[in-house]
Structure formats: C-alpha cells, structure tokens
Structure 1
C-alpha cells in the first residue's frame, strides 16, 4: 500500500509540474518561455531558449500557439498591393494560425480584381521599438514569382523609409537570402545597401533570421551566424515589424507554369529583445 501511495504522489507531482509549465504563457512582455503539450519538438526548443541570452532580454514575442492570430499583436492587411507592380490582393482570410505556427497562404485565384491572393501582417501602432534584436524562425514558400519577406519600417504615417529588410527571398532562388537597408539621402533620393547569402534550400526546413540593431550598426544573422554588417545610415526612430508574401512584381517577376499553389510561409515564432549587457 505504501509503495502504491508513493507512486500516486509522484504522478500527482509530475502532473502539477506539467500543468504549471503549460500555463507559463506571456501576453506580450515575456517572463519566461513555456512548454506546450501539443508540439513536443517546438516546445522543447521554446523551453530551452533563455529570456536573457548573450545580454539580450526578451521584451516581446509571439509563439503562435492557439487557434487564432492575436489581434492585440498583429494588424491584418486587406488591400490590393500597389507597390512594385505586385500581383496579389492581401486578405486576412489568408492568414491562419494552427499546429503552433503562423501561416501566410498564397493562392492562385480570382480575388477582388487580382489573379492571386496572399497574406500580410504587421505591428504598426501595436508594437514598435528603437534598437534591439528582432528574430523570426520560419520555413519559406518557394517558386517563380513568390516573394516572402520579414522587415521593419518607421512607426508613423505616410512613410516606409528607412526600411530594414531582415530577410527577403525570391522564390525561384530558394537558397539565396537578401538582407537590405533602404533610406533617403539629403536630396530625397532612395538609397540602398544590401548583401546576399547563399545557403541551403530555405523552403524545405525552418531557419532563424534576425537583426541586431544598435546606434552604431545593424548586424544580420541567419541561423545565429553573422552574414552582413552595416555601420552607416542607421535608422534612429522606432520601427514596427512586417511579414508578408508578395506575388510577382519588378524583382521576382510573375509566377509561371512551374509555380505550385498554394504556397505557405510558416512561422514558428517572432521575438524581440533589448540589449541589457552593455557595450553595444
């Protein structure tokens, strides 16, 4: 009887601990990471990721657990994209959250005057920050004419510059990531600095894409490795986050017969940190 009772107590303790861990969910300013019962591989990764890592303190995040995208963190685009001669209509219907991931879905369909629909979300007026680290873990869509991006813009009206492109990929080159900084010079002319990184096929697995943004420089990282550093024309105003998949346009060009639809831009998490370690 005593041995059986001890087993019962042990099971009870384990159950309580598991329940506590599953409830440690942040509403915005993170206190710690957590373990979800549903997605073991994803959850262990979250649980092992520290709040303060190499001097970076987690201040905002979305782990995309739950059934719906959090409207207190994200705005949904709902318009026919007009820049760069793109071909998609952004609709909230193409932004979903399931199985622990955000999914931006791109479709070939007649939709409000366009031949394609896609998804885009951003944090304008909900969350912005001045200097810090922004990181996303994602598996990217692929194919001719598909153009996923993760970027930042100033949190104010009627402007998109300066712009920090943390990650851009043209879908017919799924092993090439572009990292770009855009700004206006004193004459009001668009200027850009960029670098590309050739690696694995970024559409077949999840990878991390991040920038470390300080008053002195911007450092781009892919899977934790430094891939580009820029120390001039550094933005000095609060910026917000933007995730989207464009279709067609001046750079990627239109989809063709080889492009498969639907395409999915799957995001495991987005996290933002402030540097607390000094010296940057």
Structure 2
C-alpha cells in the first residue's frame, strides 16, 4: 500500500515537471563545451571545410573570407574589409562556435573599432538571440538586446549601458551575460547593467524569452545599410579610413549550466 502511494506521488511530481516545462529527459539534454579561449592556437575552420564534428574545431568562419580575421600575439583580430567593386557594404567576419549552449554564462573581452557605422557583436543565436553590440559611433556605451523565435523587433527589447573607465575603443572591457531559465543578466566588467526576468516577457499567451540551445557568435559588420545606418551612427566614411577596420578580442569564456547541458 505504501509503495503504491509513493509511486503515485512520484508520478504526480513528474507530471507537474512535464507540464511546467522544467523536466527534460537526460537523453534530450544539449551537449555543451565549457572553455576559455585566449586565442593562442585556436582552431578556426572555414565553413565549407567543416566536417560536422564539433570536437574538430573551436570556431567556424561563416563569412566566406579568410581575410576577415587574424590570430596574432594572443589576440583574435576581427576585420571589416572595405567594400570592393560595386558592393555597398564592407565585409566582416562572423565566427560561430561548434557547440551549442543551453543556459550558462558567456563573456568576451574586447576592444572594438571606434569608427561610426562599425558594429562589433557578441551573441548567442539559434532562432532566439541574446546580444552585446558595441557601436563605433558611441564609444562610451554598449548595447544589450534579445530576440525571441525569430521576431526581429528592432528598437523594442534593447538597452544602452555606460562603459566606465576608458572608452571601448581605447581599452579592453569585458562584456558578459548570465543566462538562466528564468532570467538574463548582462554585465560590463563584472558590473550588472541589466536584468531581464522571464515572467516580464509574457505577451498574448507566450513568454517571449530566449530558451533555445544556441551557438556563440563573434562578429563585426557594416551598419551602413538603410535599415541600420542611423542606429549604427553611420555610414562608414571609408574615404578617410584604412581598407581594413579591426576589433581586437583577447578572450572568450563559456561556462555551460550543468543542469541543462551534458558537459563534454
């Protein structure tokens, strides 16, 4: 009788977890790799050469151009190349992690380029998205943002945050976020600048809060297109700038949440 009662209680608890969305079978957990990359011997592979095995590389260059990045003296130099021919926009690097992250903490230590129109980005993305973006035309602030389920609602979910100390293009600063099932915390140099609670994202029957396992991305891009030029403080004035604009990245750190990932 007691065993039957306990079994019923356990089944009810399991049902509650399933209904609440908090239970995930161990077989369904995301495989995640915690790491610190100081860019000394980092394994970066071109997208067309990637064999599909996440253990074989650290990053995938999905920009289609090897000239968009350099590894030098313990730094990743992310380049934005001047437009060639009739192309209206510069061409920048996007590096994609080989493993996905399902909750955890992520940080980047970087010195973005300071020209107006240049956007240096550090994000997690896979349908949902969590962002740090540094705009060259506003070197005293960094911007946080998030998107849900592919809804590109620009100017809705973003935040603008003061960078203490030297401007972002004159010194290295660390931009991070701590992502949990119920909230996201953005930080600059360890200082909390924004907290988003899942409970505050409920709209018309949905919690519009990032929940999908996502890849980490590093990128630099040209914000001079009509839809982003004002936001990015562009256009880029290439006539008075070098043919290659560079953001320097000293470190990326990813720590997977062991409750929601299989650590590999």
Q: The TM-score by the shorter chain falls in which range?
A: 0.5 to 0.7
RMSD value, Cα: 2.5
Pick from 116, 136, 139 the counterpart of residue 144 of structure 1. Answer: 116
Q: CA 1:178–1:259 in structure 2 vs 1: closer, same or farther (change >3 Å)? A: farther
Shift of residue 118 of structure 1? 2.1
Q: CA 1:275–1:163 in structure 2 vs 1: closer, same or farther (change >3 Å)? A: closer
Query: Structure 2: how far apart are the matches of 1:229 and 1:269?
Result: 23
Q: TM-score, normalised by structure 1?
A: 0.64
Q: Deviations over 1:179-232 (max 9, x none)?
A: 0011249xx674742211122410111110110000110000000000000012
Corresponding position of 2:6: none
Corresponding position of 1:175: 140
Question: Structure 1 residue 204 and structure 2 residue 204: aligned?
Answer: no
Corresponding position of 1:24: none
Q: CA 1:189–1:207 in structure 2 vs 1: closer, same or farther (change >3 Å)? A: closer
The 8 Å contact of residues 144 and 258 in structure 1, kept in 2 or not, is answered as no
Question: Structure 1 residue 75 and structure 2 residue 41: aligned?
Answer: no
Corresponding position of 2:214: 239
Corresponding position of 1:106: 80
Q: Give the length in aligned residue pairs.
A: 197
Query: Structure 2: how far apart are the matches of 1:145 and 1:197?
Result: 18
Relative contact order: is structure 1 or structure 2 higher (C-alpha 8 Å, sep ≥ 6)?
2
Shift of residue 116 of structure 1? 2.5
Query: Structure 2: how far apart are the matches of 1:59 and 1:225?
Result: 22
Shift of residue 107 of structure 1? 2.7
SS at 1:93's partner residue?
helix
Corresponding position of 1:195: 159
Q: Deviations over 1:97-145 (max 9, x none)?
A: 010011111232416845533222112xx21110100011111111111
Query: Structure 2: how far apart are the matches of 1:128 and 1:193?
Result: 23
Query: Structure 2: how far apart are the matches of 1:140 and 1:189?
Result: 24
- Residue segments in structure 2 that go unaligned for 5+ positions in a row: 1-32, 46-56, 199-207, 260-264
Corresponding position of 1:273: 255
The 8 Å contact of residues 147 and 169 in structure 1, kept in 2 or not, is answered as yes
SS at 2:119's partner residue?
strand
SS at 2:67's partner residue?
helix
- Residue segments in structure 1 that go unaligned for 5+ positions in a row: 1-57, 80-90, 155-160
Question: Structure 1 residue 93 and structure 2 residue 77: aligned?
Answer: no
Question: Structure 1 residue 260 and structure 2 residue 238: aligned?
Answer: no
Pick from 182, 191, 195 the counterpart of residue 225 of structure 1. Answer: 191
Shift of residue 234 of structure 1? 2.8
